[in-house]
Amino acid sequence: MQAAVLEWYAANGRALAFRRTADPWSVLVSEVIAQQTQAARAAQAWTRLIDQFRTPAALAAASPATVIRAWRGLGYNRRAIALRAAAIAIVEDHGGRVPDTYDALVRLPGVGPYTARAVLAIAFDQHVAALDTNIRRVVGRAFLGGENSLGARDFQLLADGFVPRDRAAAWTHALMDVGAAFCRKGEPHCDECPLAPQCRYLAGGRPPPLSLRRSRKPKPFRSTSRWLRGRILDRLRDAPDGEWVELSGRIGEHSPDAVLIELGNLAHDRLLELDQGGRARLRTGP
């Protein structure tokens, strides 16, 4: 099964920009970007960000406003502030080098168990399985016959044992691509999957495709607070550095009161600053 996955990946794996490096800082940046961003868009953003912040020290020295501007288009902007905080911790606590242990990595701001293990596997080739939702689904189905057959700790230990020696980085990327191309949540493409000949999920009779189940009506679009947060930050990004911006009117479907509430939330998240008159600007302080 390892050989089938790695051979398929060698011939068909996605040529994403961040896969061409094993530099620990570059890998950490790519994993933070990819947390809630499609792979192709994450690769484009990673190229731009790593050119601007080539080392943890470069990001640590940048102002929050500079980082938030650089993060434009990626959404979930708290990730940008957390990555900057992680860079500061790497500089102050680890001599500017990304740590190579799980315990040290998960203590960095914005770095959870999956991101820590992905950095260990991809950058340091350590024998650990990085289990995001898609990889967990592939491992659970192909090796165990189901996605929820073990508790989290036992599943992690078992998945660690499936990682090929000295191929942790390739294995991680390969399982990501198998999950994206074949082992999908709703309608898996089992017949084309490189794991099909040995897959326990397929051998045990997989559920019918999603398209054959009762269809659900699509939910109508609603302008959400996340949408409003993005519009507010984009207006501040467009202003000159350090300039206060008046945001007292409606934005989209959101009333002035809703805008004021979201301004307070963004200030609480340390993404912007508010002055006495209710004007806002991207955070400039430490």
Confidence at residue 187, expressed as pLDDT on a 0 to 100 scale: 83
Q: Is the CB of residue 96 less than 8 Å from the CB of residue 71?
A: no
- Structural domain boundaries in the chain: 1-14+127-206, 23-124, 225-282
pLDDT exceeds 90 at position 65: yes
Is 64 strand, coil or helix?
Answer: helix
CATH number for 1-14+127-206 (one of 1.10.760.10, 3.30.2010.10, 1.10.1670.10, 3.40.50.10860): it is 1.10.1670.10
Of 65-69, 132-136, 203-207, 258-262, where does mean pLDDT reach its minimum?
Answer: 203-207
Cα(79)–Cα(89) distance, rounded to whole angstroms? 15
Catalytic residue chosen out of the listed positions 7, 31, 92, 243: 31
b/e string for 103-126 if b means 16 or more Cβ within 10 A? ebbeebebbeebbbbbbbbbbbbb
Residue 49 or residue 148, greater confidence: 49
How far is Cα 114 from Cα 111, in angstroms, rounded to an integer?
8
| Secondary-structure class of domain 23-124 per CATH | mainly alpha
CA dihedral 232, 235, 237, 241 (to 10 degrees): -110
262 is an active site residue = no
> Distance of CA 34 to CAs 70, 85, 271, Å?
15, 18, 20
Is pTM beyond 0.75? Reply is yes
What is the rounded CA–CA span in Å between residue 118 and residue 139? 15
**Which pLDDT score is estimated for 138?**
94
Over residues 120-161, the pLDDT tens digits come to: 999 999 999 999 988 999 999 998 888 766 888 999 999 999
- What is the pLDDT at residue 216? 54
Q: Are 238 and 265 in contact (CB under 8 A)?
A: no
CA atoms of 39 and 198, how far apart (whole Å): 28
Contact 248, 278 (CB under 8 A): yes
